[in-house]
Amino acid sequence: MLQPRFVGAVVILWLLSWTPMAESAIGVNWGTISFRRLKPSGVVNLLKDNKIPKVKLFEVEPDILKALKGSGIQIMVGIPNEMLSLLGSSPSAADLWVSQNVTSYIGKGGADIRYIAVGNEPFLTSYNGQFQNLVMPAILNLQQSLVKANLAGYVKLVVPCNADAYEASLPSQGTFRPELTQIITQLVQFLNANGSPFVVNIYPFLSLYDNGDFPQDYAFFEGTTHPVTDGTNVYTNAFDGNYDTLVAALNKIGYGQMPIVIGEIGWPSDGAIGANITAARVFNQGLIKHIMSNKGTPLRPGAAPMDVYIFSLLDEGAKSTLPGNFERHWGIFSFDGQAKYPLNLGLGNKELKNAKNVEYLPSRWCIANPSTDLTNVANHMRIACSVADCTTLNYGGSCNEIGEKGNISYAFNSYYQLQMQDSRSCDFDGLGMVTFLDPSVGDCRFLVGVTDKGSNSSSSETAIHWYVLVLFFTIQSMLSFSV
């Protein structure tokens, strides 16, 4: 077995022989909060077929990183906010995390991990400062761990921030929130010193969704009847205005030239008014065209963001709907890897290519039995939708107007597919029946499940396993110290 120092030397020699891509790129966020997960290898093939060069993961998932080995796809791996306290208080825990989740995957023929996202929007207003003071201690410990592993020159630490970290009535007046100014300044000083970009998540859809007075056309890139005039600068879309607010805020703390990466941006295709296939296609295509033009923004003309990660790759049918029912419908692909609409990512293909060799369940659906009295169906629907995803039935959803029996059938079928078409799951006390005729209506698609659900490992199991190892490692260190 190679000794750790020698392994580090081999890794660093390989990294030096690999020339990093310097140009901007369009990447995607690969979220996995789904009832129906495709095999990671199938998703990696989907990324490769669509020539997507960069992917952002919210947590380290071993089966996904193994599938990404040798793919040439650059990776940003995430650390959940809940881990920040432990990583910031224990250098040993940081060493262990880097060893298990970076060093063990990286190297010749391995996973090309370029960034570690320390937390996910930890400064979000709704967290009420819960993670605010945990970010820098975690970053400093992790940086030392990367140094020990001879990876600090290649793997960079970043902190994805929500756009609510800064504020202004006009872009040029942008400042960080007063309670964040000191911490953000420390963070940006660290990022600058270590060659890392500032990562920000920008969502014009949420501006439109949360504010009834927000001009709809300003959220897109097709021009607007409500431009924002800021001195000699004129803003015709919300993205440019938001981006330049950040540029101004960075300038005010002395880092106006800090490279910026868009960690998340996109438009949902279902689940709310304004969330539909047409709007999602127009927004995402407009965004890509805008980025690829290198036109930049008024405060950074001729300079596009360093990289842009579209949110997201696939729909995630098990996500929380607390922010809104649209949360489960951000994907440019549906859960089964099928493109929702034509989209040119500017990466060589004029349109998205679908996932190949997807293993579906048989073509059959569960619907409301037309020959039964459906008076007492409400409780069955409630149970079905508490387990399965029925968000398309809500106001603004693609299945909102298919009628009462259609709604019942959709709920029944969602549950039935989730139960892998177990015949008992379509009984509903005799109110359901199986059909071999596709009940889809217009834009309302009745889904058929997939059989290739991938490995049984989950991010939560990975986290538990990691916590156990950290506890063991800490106890061992304490025992050694006491002796």
pLDDT tens for 179-237 read 999 999 999 999 999 999 999 999 999 999 999 899 999 999 999 999 999 999 999 99
pTM (global) more than 0.85: yes
Q: Across residues 173-178, what is the average pLDDT?
A: 98
- pLDDT for the residue 469: 52
Q: Across residues 238-265, what is the average pLDDT?
A: 98
- pLDDT for the residue 383: 95
HSE, side-chain direction, 13 A CA sphere, residue 343: 31
- pLDDT for the residue 470: 53
Q: Domains, the chain, ranges and CATH?
A: 4-357 (3.20.20.80), 365-435 (no CATH)
pLDDT (tens digit per residue) in 82-91? 999 999 999 9
Q: Which two tokens stand for residue 393?
A: 């039935």
What whole-number distance in Å separates Cα of residue 284 and Cα of residue 428? Answer: 41
Check pLDDT > 70 for residue 302: yes
Q: Across residues 451-469, what is the average pLDDT?
A: 51
Q: Across residues 125-148, what is the average pLDDT?
A: 98
36: confidence class by pLDDT, cuts 50, 70, 90: confident
- pLDDT for the residue 465: 52
Give the residue numbers annotated as catalytic, written as ranges: 121, 264
25: confidence class by pLDDT, cuts 50, 70, 90: confident
- pLDDT for the residue 89: 98
Mean pLDDT of the residues in the chain:
91
Q: Which two tokens stand for residue 22?
A: 């310097």
- Give the rounded percent of residues in the chain with a pLDDT score beyond 70: 88
| Least confident piece of the model among 133-142, 150-159, 407-416, 463-472 | 463-472
- pLDDT for the residue 326: 97
Q: Across residues 423-446, what is the average pLDDT?
A: 96
Q: Across residues 363-383, what is the average pLDDT?
A: 95
Check pLDDT > 80 for residue 408: yes
